[in-house]
Structure formats: C-alpha cells, structure tokens
Structure 1
Amino acid sequence: MTICQKLKLALACSAALLPVAASAAPAGDAFATAAHLHRGVNVLGYDPLWKDPARARFQPRHFAIIRKGGFDFIRLVLQAFDHMDATNRLDPEWLATLDRVVKQASDAGLSVIIDEHDFNACSDDPDACAPKLKAFWQQIGERYRTAPKSVLFELLNEPHGKLDADRWNALLAQILPVVRASNPQRTLVIGPTNWNSLSKLDTLKLPPSDHNILVTFHYYEPFRFTHQGAPWTDNRDLHGIPLTTADERRIGADLATVAAWSEANKRPVLLGEFGAFDKSGTPIADRVRYTATVRRNVEAHGLPWAYWQFDGDFIVYDINHDTWVEPIRQALVGKP
C-alpha cells in the first residue's frame, strides 16, 4: 500500500468525524494523525502577544478566520527560551498565554502543532541548548499530557550549524524519552538537520518502534527566488529573479523525492514551511505561481503542509488591513 493509499484509507475511515478528530486517531500511528492534517499556516512566532498580550496583533478571532479561510491546522511558533528563568522554569504568565492560544485554536476547529523555535540558539551552542530543550519539553509534556491528539509537539525547528546530524540525533535520543514519559501516545513532529532539509532526511535516526512520529521538512527552493531581497540572507541585494519552468520541474522532482523517502521508510511526512518573501518587490503573480506549484505537487503526493506564514513576512493575511492577501490564499486553498 502506498503512502497516498494509507492516507486516503485513514481519511475514509474518519470522514464522519469533526474537524479536530485527530483526537480519535489510533494510538501510536502518525499516518492516522497526518490524515487529519491537510492545509496549515504558521502563526504567532514574532507577535508582541508573548511579552505583552495587550499589544497583540493577532487576535482570538483570527483563528476562526483561518478555519473559514480554508485551513485546518496551525503551526504555533514559540521562542520559549526567552521566557525561562535561571533554573529553566517557564514563566507562568507565558504558559497561561499559551494555554489560551491552544484552547482558542482548538475551539475554532484547528489542530495545533506546538513548535519549539529556538533553532538558532540550539544550533549555535548545542551544549547550552540541551538542558533548556529538555526542561521545556518536560514542562510542556506534563502540562499538555491530557490534551487531545489534535495537539502535536514539534521538538525543534530547523536544527543546523553545530547541530549537525550526529549531534542532532544524539540530542533527540535525550529528548524523546522526556516527552514519551508524559505523552506516550502523542504525535511528535521531527525534522532533519541542515534547516530541515529534504537532502538530510536519510540522516535522521528515529526509534524504529515509535510509529507516532511525523517527519517534517522545509522547502524554499529555488532559494534565489524565494528569498531574493531578504535582508537576513546573502540574497539581500538580489531582485528581479524570475521563477522559470526549469524551477517548476525541480520543485516537482524534489517533492517526488520526499514522497519516495516517505514510502521507503514508512514514515508520514509534513511540509512544515514554504513560501516566497513578500517584501522583495517580486511581482505577486510570480509568488502566486510559486506557491501554487509547491502546493499542487505536495498535495499530489497526499502530504499535509503549512505555509510560512500568516502575518509578518511571506504573509497570507494582512493584519494591518484586516484582510486576506487573496491571490496567495487562493494559490493555497483555491482550485489547483
């Protein structure tokens, strides 16, 4: 049975259930969980909400807007290290905000991936990261041990740099038992090193007996196109880079490679991030074409995806004007 057939079978068995019915997925089977995740969006990574809820740009009503806009899950981007004390205890007020966000999203019919996003700190200094990351997941694991299965844990976004394959696998071996102690049946989301690169999927070492892991990768190729003008990259001075038909063929081939890896390794896969930078001056028609091309190819293989991101940059929703960036939304959820 192919991955697509497995996903379709799981969907057929659950067609009568509610939108967040991942909570009814068979324990220990990430394929069943993946079957309930289709189209997602990354949210709240850099919102003032986390330090001063009164200044929040993102509002509770936006969860209903996301659901009605055609999405069924969110990837909740957290920089938790900033909210830990000297003993690595999480700030109670920050935790209360997190509780509200998870509840509001769930009440809106959205599944939630809790994503620990301190990837630069962990990649720059893995030794300093390890106790913080273990402390984070010990606390979050205990706090959400009774949450519905529509809440997933993503252990760390985009390991890279000093957190190479060997060190990342060693760190995973420390963190996984911490999470499984409180959440033996929770679906976990784990990606490879090199910024969750598809080229490093084969380096990821996961426990063979743990079948409740959803493998994730991120995709921003061709990088010269998607990140032209992005000030945090070497492409900051690049402009006017077109999306070519050769690029579109490459996208199709790359995503077929991921699907083949999933099939060969019997692991479900999530595209956790993709998008094209929106402040580069690149014509929106090109960005729409890119977005639609990735979405079409991912869905052709039956894989769920989450767009980067709702607000900030690469946006699909303009909070300042309280409206969707409709061409991008249509590229994501409209007719393929």
Structure 2
Amino acid sequence: MSLLLASAMVLAAPANAASQATPQPTTSAAAMSGPAWRTASHLHRGVNILGYDPIWRVPAKARFKARHFRIIRQGGFDFVRVVLQSFGHMDAQNRLDPQWLRTLDGVVKDATAAGLSVIIDEHDFNLCSAEPDACEPKLIAFWTQIGERYRNAPDTVLFELLNEPHAPLDDARWNAMLRKLIPVVRATNPTRTLVIGPSRWNNLEELPKLELPKDDRNILVTFHSYEPFRFTHQGAPWAHDMVGVKGVPFTAADEARINADYDKVGAWSKANDRPVLMGEFGAYEKSGTPMAARARYTATVRREAEAHGFPWAYWQFDSDFILYDIDRDQWVEPIRQALVPKEG
C-alpha cells in the first residue's frame, strides 16, 4: 500500500489557492541550513485536524470530508497536523487496525493532493504520561508500523513522535524514550523530518532540558503556546480549576509576556541551530469569552510567532476552539482573519 500511496501523493497546490501572501522566515532563520530548516521554510500557517472526528471509528460518519482540505488550502493555510489517538486502534499485539490505517492513508493522500504538508501526530499523551513504561512499547510499535507504511511518502509528510509528554513522563524519562524512538523511525525513514517537543506539555521553559542527537539535524522542535492560561482556558471543563472561571480579559501585559516568551524560544533556536514549530495555540470559545478578545489574542500570537520565524498550527479546525463551523459550512471569520489577515 505504501508504494501506491507514495505514487499518488504528488504535491500540487491548486490553481485557485488562497491569494494571501504567506509570511517569510526571519533573516536569522533563513540564514540557517540543514534539512529541518529547509522543511520549516516551507511551513507557515497550519491547523490541527481530525482529533475527535467519528472518521476513525466509522468513516461513513465523518464530519470532516476530503473537500475540507481544499477549503483549508484556499483559506490561506499550507499544512495540517493530523491528531491521532492510535492506541485505541491497536490489538493485543499492538498491531494497528487495517481499516484505521486505510483511513489514515486517505487523509494523507487527500491533504497532499490539496497542496498541504502533513504532520502525523501521535496524540496519546495522557495515556503515555500516566504510564510511561506501558506506553513505550506501544509508541515503538506505532512508529515501526507507520515508518514502514510511509517510508516512500514525500518529504512533505512529517512524523511527530508524541504530543505533550508530561509528568510522570518527565524530562529524564522522555529523553530516555527518545533514545529508543528516534532510531526506530530512522531505520525506515532516514531523511524524514521529525517533530519533537519538550516535556511539561511541550512547555517552552523545558526546551533546555530536551536532549536530541547532535548529528540528527532533521528534527523540527515544537512547543505549545496557551499563555495566559486563565484567559485561553477559562471555562474549559477538562481543566478542573478553570471550570468556573470567566470574564478574564486579554491585556497589554499578556501581549508583552507572549513577546518575551517567544524571544526565549528564538534565542534557544539560534543557540542550538534547531528550527521551531509552534504546534498549538487557541482560546476556548464555549466560556462566553467575547469574540473580539479571542480574535485579538489569536492575532497577537500569530503575529509574534511569524515575527520570530516560527511556523504555527492553530488548535483546531473542528470540535472546540473551532476555526471552521462544519455545521454551517463556513469559517469562523474573526478567527480566520486573525490568522490570515488580508494584508498578508
């Protein structure tokens, strides 16, 4: 199947792709060299997709359709981060379900045909973090199978080894796991760009503790950006101390903190000669937070990320924090325009 998939996955941007100009890397980023830097230079504006769609269990009930890839591309975006909870689709021997794999094949094929780069993101972060020893063989099995299946895919397909590791999957345990995972992928994909982030939920403060092989320069380092958390997650039911929180504003001090945080990331990137991807950001919409405040936050993060040379992926297309209203078949325009301003 992988050979057939590779032959079908020729990157071809549609003739009527979005007219908005895409941001260019900063001078410092452009001056860097190496395969991961080249990959990063082709990624600009992305969106997370499919994490909570019925497509993975009952493809006929999918909310997200193949046509949405073209909508994403025409909307001004050039890559997608495909959010996968694969552990629930493995048998007792950690073999991935064939139907689930065929669905993933179709997602990667259709996204590529629409002119989008694709990050395959293994997103079982809570299961992995709660029980790292039980997670490790599953992650190894996942990347062994995915690595073999996509070994001939174009270089516009990236592998993200695990989303948001966090305690008890701490720095030391995560670094030890990476020393096993990276060789597994490199056995079948020696030239594939990998996406790897630090511990504590891909927290930028943990970047100095991330240990990567010095001779592997095809790694795009990722971090996630949800600060100020009391603003972005007010009312979020999964963040227990935020359930009753509402009315938190987005302030000038918050804007200054975002700039300072990204200065830190940029300095780390330059010092370590590693390109950086901001893999998630967004503000929860179901708490009554005014749209104007959410749009201003979104525009601020997007603007600062681009000013620092970081490609980014908004969280997310559908489900919550939504960018596109599938039920109404239309963009949430204030958020889209905050991400892809008309002036470019």
TM interval, shorter chain, is over 0.9
Shift of 1:29: 1.2
The answer to whether the aligner puts 1:172 opposite 2:178 as a matched pair is yes
| CA positional deviation for 1:235 | 0.6
CA distance in 2, matches of 1:5, 1:148: 27
2:36 equivalent among 26, 30, 41: 30
* Paired letter, 1:4: T
Deviations 1:230-289 (A, max 9, x none): 001111100000011111111111111111110111100000000000101000000000
| 1:44 is aligned to 2:44 | no
For residue 241 of structure 1, the aligned residue among 238, 241, 248 is: 248
Q: Name the residue aligned to 2:103.
A: 97
Distance 2:325 2:106 in 1: 23
Aligned to 2:286: 279
- Distance change (3 Å), C-alpha of 1:131 and 1:102: same
Partner residue of 1:256?
A: 263
Aligned to 1:61: 67
Whichever residue aligns with residue 232 of structure 2, its letter is: T
2:330 is aligned, of 309, 315, 323, to 323
Name the SS of the counterpart of 1:256 in structure 2. Answer: helix
Residue matched to 1:157? 163
2:135 to 129, 137, 140: 129
Asked if 1:293 corresponds to 2:300, the answer is yes
Once the two structures are TM-superposed, the CA of residue 9 in structure 1 deviates from its matched residue by 5.8
Residues 181-232 of structure 1 deviation map (CA, whole Å, 9 limit, x = unaligned): 0000000000000000000000100000000000000000000000000001
Q: 2:27 corresponds to which residue?
A: 5
Deviation at 1:6, TM superposition (A): 5.3
Q: Which residue of 1 aligns with 2:238?
A: 232
Unpaired stretches in structure 2, ≥5 consecutive residues: 1-24
Find the residue that maps to 2:243 and give its secondary structure.
coil
Matched residue type, 2:202: N
Distance apart, 1:4 and its partner CA: 2.6
Who is 2:3 aligned against?
Answer: none
SS at match of 2:295: helix
**Contact 1:6 1:31 (C-alpha < 8 Å) held by counterparts:** no
Where does residue 92 of structure 2 map in the other structure?
86
CA distance in 2, matches of 1:277, 1:245: 19
Aligned-partner Cα distance in 1 for 2:257–2:319: 28
The residue matched to 1:200 in structure 2 has which SS?
Answer: helix
CA deviation after TM superposition for structure 1 residue 303, in Å: 1.1
Distance 1:4 1:70 in 2: 20
CA displacement at 1:5 relative to structure 2: 2.4
Among candidates 117, 120, 144, match of residue 123 of structure 2? 117
- Contact (CA 8 Å) 1:273, 1:306: kept in 2 or not? yes
Query: What's the TM-score, normalizing by structure 2?
Result: 0.91
Work out whether 1:270 is the aligned partner of 2:277.
yes
Shift of 1:301: 1.1
Cα distance in 1 for partners of 2:35, 2:229 equals 34
In percent, how many aligned pairs have the same letter? 69
CA distance in 2, matches of 1:287, 1:97: 33
Contact 1:7 1:34 in 2 (8 A): no
TM-score (norm 1): 0.93
Runs of 4+ residues over 4 Å off in structure 1:
none
Query: Which of these residues, 217, 220, 231, is aligned with residue 211 of structure 1?
Result: 217
* Unpaired stretches in structure 1, ≥5 consecutive residues: 11-25
1:187 aligns with 2:193: yes
Whether contact under 8 Å (1:122, 1:128) holds in the other structure is yes
Do the aligned partners of 1:123 and 1:160 also contact (CA within 8 Å) in 2?
A: yes
Counterpart contact for 1:163–1:193, Cα < 8 Å:
yes
2: CA distance, partners of 1:8 / 1:275 = 27
Q: CA RMSD in A?
A: 1.2
Equivalent residue of 1:277, what SS?
Answer: coil
Question: Is this contact kept in 2: 1:228–1:241, CA < 8 A?
Answer: yes
